[in-house]
Amino acid sequence: MPDYDAIVVGAGNAGSAAAISMASKGLSVLLVDRSDPPGAKNLSGGVLWGNDLAQILPKWQSEAPLERFIDNKKIGFLTEKSSIVIDFKTEIFRENKVGYTVLRSKLDPWMAKKAKEAGATVIPGITVESLVIKDRTVVGVQESGDVITSNVVILAEGINPRLSIEAGLRGPLQDWEVSVGVKEIIKLSPQKIEDRFNLTPNSGMASEYIVGNMGDLNIGAFLYTNKDSISLGIVSPMEELRKNGVTHTYDIIETFKEHPSIAPLIEGGTVAEYGAHLIPEGGLDMVPQVYGNGYMIVGDAAGFAFSNGLVLQGMNYAILSGIVAGETAVEAKTRNDFTSKSLSAYEEKLQNTYVLKDLKTFKDIRKVTGNKNMYTVYPKMLEGILLEMLWERGQPKKKVRDILGSCATDLKMSRLKTMTDFYYIYRRM
């Protein structure tokens, strides 16, 4: 008899969601995390979208440590001197509570606590050193020479999945699969945040930017409002960083903070924390085999995240994949069959959720996010168009068609190239 029905490695959103969904259905579950408190090594940009948690924690919106609900979403383009921002503020978000800013060092221990309340054994501060594999089946984990066994191991290791790599369940990560996320928490009083961003005491703003003033680098950035702090960060694709070869990842965030439209937003704030984390951005192509004899892989470790340069989501994909893996384990227990064949239900179920549907729909999205023009040309083109239309200089005015043409020419883009580029972006986005 194994020690547990299931061992979950990693108490992030995915791991805790899996543990809750299994323990609440009566499985014996061990949830381990290498940090104490659990989740203290986890870092996200900081917006949890969607309502997937309701499946396992119906009262999460009133009980979870959430910062602010998002009723204002901004999508922006930056050039050296300008910012062009779509500012979407809506009562529909306010009424439906579609997303919340969160701080993982608060949210993750809360989810681990909920796993414990559901009946799971939660042990933080344990570093699993390796998976125990017998007859090509994962049968448990090993820590300091101790072996703990289970019917199934759920790997929720995150985007730096050492155990899966060492056990050969997936290959080492490649440049194209990841971006480097660098983040700061900047303390500001709630009053300042609400005044500066036009918010009420519980409402929040989430903004994402295409940063067009970083030379040849494709840089994305984000700025979110918490209760009494700002989450601010940049996202640098590893491939681009390597091609560039002369820019420190830690300097890019400074350039973003110093932008004339960003600096006033954080003025007077003090940096309370600095951090960095990899972000899965390889889409469907980076997803490994997510199940096998005695194991399933969930969350970031499976590459479940979505990015199109303007939207960056991961926690919702993590939670839903954790829940689905948990449900699969519960069904496998009734069959008393934890072989690859039995656990293949995990992937089949995921095919019917947005997790794998989105990755499939947007399988070509890297051609958009990797399109240099999105960063180095189009923000400047937008700036040029707006200057031409809005800046009265005592010159005869031009039609939009002619403005677009002259801006494209200024940026050494032919009209045809611009139009085909727009068409491809439109097709894939």
Q: How far is residue 7's CA from residue 383's CA, in Å, rounded to a whole number?
A: 53
Q: Quick check: 10 and 101 in contact, CB under 8 A?
A: no
| Total of residues contacting another protein (CB under 8 A) | 55
- Binding another protein by CB under 8 A: which of 147, 271, 389, 419? 271
Burial of 233 (0-12, 13-18, 19+ CB in 10 A): buried
- Establish if 245 lies at the interface with another protein (CB under 8 A): yes
Site track 277-306 with another protein (rule: CB under 8 A), x = hit: xx----------------------------
| C-alpha span between 141 and 147 (Å, rounded) | 6
Residues in the chain: 429
Stretch that binds another protein, among 98-106, 207-215, 402-410, 421-429 (CB under 8 A): 98-106
Contact call for residue 247 and another protein (CB under 8 A) = yes
Cβ neighbours of residue 87 closer than 8 Å, sequence gap 6 or more: 72, 74
Does position 422 bind another protein by CB under 8 A? no
Q: Which of 241, 287, 332, 404 binds another protein (CB under 8 A)?
A: 241
Segment interacting with another protein, rule: CB under 8 A, options 35-43, 217-225, 311-319, 393-401? 35-43
381 vs 411: CA distance, rounded Å = 7
Q: How far is the CB of 157 from another protein (least distance, A)?
A: 9
Query: Quick check: 160 binds another protein (CB under 8 A)?
Result: yes
Residue 254 found at the interface with another protein (CB under 8 A)? yes
Nearer to another protein, 70 or 185 (CB): 185
Interface with another protein includes 237 (CB under 8 A)? no
Q: Which is nearer to another protein, 17 or 238 (CB)?
A: 238
* Residue closer to another protein (CB basis): 42 or 373: 42
Using CB under 8 A as the binding rule, whether residue 238 contacts another protein is answered as yes
Site string for another protein, 124-153 (x = CB under 8 A): xxxxxx-------------xx---------
Instruction: Report how far Cα 64 is from the mean position of its chain's Cα atoms.
Output: 19
User: Using the rule CB under 8 A, is 115 a contact of another protein?
Assistant: no
Q: Which is nearer to another protein, 182 or 350 (CB)?
A: 182
Using CB under 8 A as the binding rule, the residues of this chain from 51 to 70 that contact another protein are none
CB of 286 to another protein, least distance (A): 12
Among 101, 125, 127, 124, residue whose Cα is nearest residue 113 = 124
Taking CB under 8 A as the binding criterion, the range among 42-50, 84-92, 132-140, 206-214 that sits at the site for another protein is 42-50
The smaller minimum CB distance to another protein, of residues 312 and 343, is found at 312
287 exposure class (CB count in 10 Å sphere: 0-12, 13-18, 19+): buried
Q: Greatest CA span in the chain, whole angstroms?
A: 85
**Which of these ranges, 68-76, 145-153, 268-276, 319-327, lies near another protein under the rule CB under 8 A?**
268-276
For residue 56, give the nearest of 389, 335, 325, 345 by alpha carbon.
325
Question: Hey, which residues does 236 pair with through a beta bridge?
Answer: 180
Q: Which stretches within 298-372 are classed as H helix?
A: 315-335, 340-351, 354-361, 366-369
| Interaction of residue 276 with another protein, rule CB under 8 A | yes
Report CA-CA distances (Å) from 369 to 55, 174, 253, 306. 32, 17, 19, 11
Residue 30 or 350: which CB sits closer to another protein?
30
Buried/exposed code over 23-32 (b: 16+ C-beta within 10 A; e: otherwise): bbbebbbbbb
The residue (of 287 and 403) whose beta carbon lies closer to another protein is 287
Q: What's the token pair of residue 86?
A: 């779509």
- Residues 184 to 223 in contact with another protein, rule: CB under 8 A: 184-185
Beta strand pairing call for 69-78 and 203-211: parallel
* Cis peptide bond N-terminal to 161, omega within 30: no
Cβ-based nearer residue to another protein, 193 or 350: 193
> What is the C-alpha separation between 310 and 220, in angstroms, rounded?
8
Q: Note the residues at the interface with another protein (CB under 8 A).
A: 34-36, 39-44, 103-106, 108, 124-129, 143-144, 159-160, 162, 172-175, 178, 180, 182, 184-185, 229, 238, 241-242, 244-251, 254, 271-278
